[in-house]
Amino acid sequence: MENQYQKTFPDLMAGKKLIYVHGFMSAGSTHTAQILRDYMPKATVIAPDLPIHPEEAMQLLRQLQADERPDLIIGTSMGGMYTEMLYGTDRICVNPAFQMGSTITENNMMGKQVYQNPRKDGIQEVIVTKALQKEYKDMTEQCFSHITAEEQKRVYGLFGDNDPIVHTFDLFNKHYPNAIRFHGEHRLVEKVIFHYLIPAIRWIDDKQEGRERKTILIDWSALPDSYGKPKSSLHKAYEFLLDHYKVYFVAPAPTNDHPFLSDVQTWIEETFSAPAWNHVIFTNQPQILYGDYLVSTDETDDFMGTSLTLGSDEFKTWEEIIVYFERLGGQ
């Protein structure tokens, strides 16, 4: 299957190692691992087949972690549960199944099960018994057992807001602050990887490299149209800018209208989802913010950086804003 977005991120995690930990009844040959390789061609993505017994799976993963010393571990569903326990490495848990015992019974995973992807050992079927289910339940009770302030900074959790299988956002958020919802279901499909996982990987890569990107502030006035919908080409511009800049949204904080703050936060979350997490600034004085660029429908002469006035003759639409930043090439 080809890269449906016809795009790669050659500088993302370049020269680094990632381990991808698959979900229940999947395998290292999953298309998800290949998508990660396609999007990050200069990174090494290791995707092992996990034993069906959780203790054996954790032993394999801990040994792999020790041998390969990965820069990032990404796990989804059952793999997200294992990933949380691989302390000492930056990690992303996608829809982590921290309640595998009940997840197995509630989703008809008992009895004969067929692996969704071919395994290297040739095994394609397994019988999920009550004893095996208990092994998973016992394993999940070991989660969150070695959390430190440093570990809390290492781990991100991504949770589909329409996941019909796993519902562990609140459980994760009790232990880790980086709990982020995205528009999606349970499976880590290419759309989710492209729009939501890649930005999170970029945050981690920038942190590891000490990389400081220039900052673009987008004023609330430049976001919704007169009908409350995203302005034309806004999504296109946002995704382009994320590749090169740190992007924050700026909105007023009216003293006499507290619900406005909640409405703005909801609109931004619904419109941009995971990449906008913790990227909203409320202030009544945007001109005093530190940033390299400010995009607004109002002229802001006293902003210390470069102001771009959306709707002006020079920048009639977001398309002209895109062209402007394309010419700058991230500068």
Tokens representing 65 are 């972690």
Q: Using the 3D structure, point to which of 209, 224, 248 is the last residue of a domain.
A: 209
pLDDT-above-70 percentage for the chain: 98
Give yes or no: residues 81 and 159 share one domain. Answer: yes
| C-alpha distance from residue 77 to each of 74, 97, 274, 314 (Å) | 10, 5, 18, 48
Output phi, psi for 243, to 5 deg: -70, -25
Written as six digits, the tokens of 325 are: 């930043």
The verdict on 201 and 286 lying in the same domain is: no
First to last CA, the chain: 35
CB 139 within 8 A of CB 54: yes
Which DSSP state fits 275?
G
Find the domain containing 238 and state its range.
215-328
pTM of the model: 0.94
**What CATH number is associated with residue 240?**
3.40.50.1000
CATH number for the domain spanning 55: value is 3.40.50.1820
Q: What is the pLDDT of residues 203-228, one digit of tens each?
A: 999 999 999 999 999 999 999 999 99
Say whether pLDDT at 4 is over 70.
no
Query: Quick one: 318 and 169 in the same domain?
Result: no
Q: What is the pLDDT of residues 235-250, one digit of tens each?
A: 999 999 999 999 999 9
Instruction: Note the pLDDT of residue 302.
Output: 85
Pick from 158, 183, 209: which residue ends a domain?
Answer: 209
